[in-house]
Structure 1
Amino acid sequence: MEDTRPLSIRRGFDDTKVWIFDLDNTLYPSACNLFAEVDRKMAEYIVRLLDVPIEHARYLQKSYYHDYGTTLTGLVKLHKIDPHDFLEFVHDIDLSALEPAPELERVIASLPGRRIIFTNGSRVHAERVAGKLGVLHLMEDICDIAACEFVAKPSPDAFDRMVRRHGVAPGEAAMFEDMPQNLEAPHTLGMTTVLVHSDYDDHRAQAQIRKWRTLPDHIHHATDDLTGFLESYSAVPDK
C-alpha cells in the first residue's frame, strides 16, 4: 500500500536509540510456519486441560486470543492455569524450519544504540529462536511475558512495564511488530512504529490490513522485508 501521509506523521529514525523487536512472525518470516507449531501446541494444551475435542479446543483457543489479547491471558483468567507450565509446553517445538539469517544479523549489528526483544512468549523461546537466527548476541535483553508479570501486549500496561524495566525513553525508541493492534500503545507513548507484514492469517486484524488503502496514524511504517527495511532506514525521512 502507498503511504500518502505527510512527513509530519511518517516519523523517521534520527532520534532512535532503542530498537525493540517483537519475536514471532517479526524477527523471522511467517512463511516458515514456525508459529503454526506453537499454535498447534496451544490447542493440544487445552485438550489436555479441559478434556475436550480438538475442534472445541481450537475454538476456545481463538476465542481467548480474540477476547483477551492472548490465549494464555484467557486461560489464566478463566481456568487459573500455571502460566509457566503453559509456556513450557507450547514452546517445546522443532526449530528445524528456521534458517540462520546472516543478513539480518549484519543489519541489526549496524543499528546504533540498544536492541531489545519484547515478546508475549517466554524468554527460553526467544533465546532459542534468536539464537537460531544468529541475532541473540546482539540483543541487550529479552522482555518476555513473565518479566511483565503476565500482562500481555497489546495492553498499554505491558508497554509501561517494559519501558520502566528497561529504562526506555519512548521518544527515542522504535517498535517493530507484526500485529497492528500491538503498535497502538507504543505510538501513544511516542515511539516510532513499524508494522512487519505477516502471512500468518489467523487473526481478524490480518483481514483488516488487506482493506487498508493507507496506513493508520498509529503505524508510521510498514514492510514485508525487515532486513531490507533496516538496511535502508537511514534514508527514511525524519519526522
Structure 2
Amino acid sequence: MPTSRSKRRRPHVNTGGPVWLFDLDNTLHHASFKIFPAISQAMTQYIIDALQVELEVANRLRADYTQRYGAALLGLTRHHPIDPHDFLKEVHTFPDLASMVRAERGLARLVAALPGRKMVLTNGPEAYARAVLRELSIERLFERVIAIEHMRDRRAWRAKPDASMLRRTMRDAHVPLADAILVEDTRGHLKRYKRLGIKTVWIVGHLPAATQANGTPARQPGAGRPHYVDRRIRSLKSLRLSSRSGRQKCSRLKSMTGP
C-alpha cells in the first residue's frame, strides 16, 4: 500500500525530437502593430510616476535598460526601488487587447503542423503572454509558457538573452539544448544562444520598417542572414517541413522549406 513517502512517478517526457522555443512578440504575432507602442508608452509613464522624472529621462532609462539587460524590468529592479510585479501588471494589461492583436492567417494550423514539443519563451509576464495566446487561439498548442517570472533565480531577475537562465530553464523542462530550435525576431538573443548549441531561426516579417534621418526608407531590418542564424524567414509558413511523415527529427534546419 503506498505511503506518504512513496516517490511520485515523473511524467513521461518525449526526448530526441525537435523542441520549438517560440518568442511571443513580433514572432507569433505582429506586436509592432499596436502592442509595442502601447507597452513603451505605459513603461515610460510608469517610470515617470514611480521615479518622479521628466519624460525625456524616463524614455532614456527605458531604452537604455532594455538594451543593456534585455528587459527594462531588470534595469529598474537593479537600480531603483520599484515593485517588479506591479510594473509587469501595469504595463502589460490592455482592456482592448483583442483589437490590438494581429497575426498571419492560419497561425494555429501552422503551429499545430510542426512536429515535436512547443513552448513559448518570452521576456513578457505570463498573464500577458497567455492573454495574447488565447486571442490567437493557440494557447493549447504549447506545453508551457516560460515567462520572465520563471526566469528568476535566487539572486536576481533574469531575461533573454541570459545564458545561464536558458540552461537552467531548459534543464527544468527536460530539453537538451541540441534539440532546441529558437524562433525569434531579436538578433541579439539569437546570437547569444547560438553559442549554446541550439538552432536559430530569425523571423523578420513583423519587424517595423526603418527610415533614415531624412525620412527615406533605410535598409530593411530583416535583410541578410547573420552567421549565427541558421534560417531566416519572413513567415511561419516557412517552418513547415518537407517531410510527409511529420515525425522527422528536426536536428538539421535543412529540412525546412527553401533557402
Whether the TM-score (by the shorter chain) exceeds 0.5 is yes
- Equivalent residues in 2 for 1:1-239 (5 A)? 16-93=17-94, 94-95=96-97, 96-99=99-102, 103-149=106-152, 150-197=157-204, 198-200=206-208, 210=220, 214-226=224-236, 228-231=237-240, 234=243, 237-238=254-255
Q: Does the residue aligned with 1:32 lie in a helix, a strand or coil?
A: coil
Q: 1:72 to 1:153 in 2, by over 3 A?
A: same
Question: Pairwise CA RMSD of aligned residues?
Answer: 2.6
Q: Distance in 2 between matches of 1:16 and 1:209?
A: 37
Q: Does the residue aligned with 1:176 lie in a helix, a strand or coil?
A: strand
Cα displacement (A) at 1:101: 5.6
TM-score normalised by L of structure 1: 0.82
Q: Distance in 1 between matches of 2:26 and 2:54?
A: 28
Cα displacement (A) at 1:127: 0.3
Amino acid in the other structure paired with 1:237: K
Q: Is the 8 A contact 2:124 2:148 kept in 1?
A: yes
Cα displacement (A) at 1:168: 0.8
Identity of paired residues, percent? 32
TM-score normalised by L of structure 2: 0.76
Q: Which runs of 5+ in 1 are unaligned?
A: 1-14, 203-207
Q: Is the 8 A contact 1:16 1:174 kept in 2?
A: no
Partner of 1:8: none
Of stretches 166-175 and 62-71 in structure 1, the one that deviates more from structure 2 is 62-71
Structure with bigger RCO (C-alpha 8 Å, 6+ apart)? 1
Partner of 2:215: none
Q: Does the residue aligned with 2:201 lie in a helix, a strand or coil?
A: strand
Amino acid in the other structure paired with 2:122: T
Higher helix share: 1
Q: 1:88 to 1:209 in 2, by over 3 A?
A: farther
Q: Which runs of 5+ in 2 are unaligned?
A: 1-15, 211-217, 245-252
Cα displacement (A) at 1:31: 4.7
Q: Is the 8 A contact 1:102 1:133 kept in 2?
A: no
Partner of 2:6: none
Q: Does the residue aligned with 2:28 lie in a helix, a strand or coil?
A: coil
Amino acid in the other structure paired with 1:81: I
Q: Is the 8 A contact 1:30 1:200 kept in 2?
A: no
Q: Does the residue aligned with 2:134 lie in a helix, a strand or coil?
A: helix
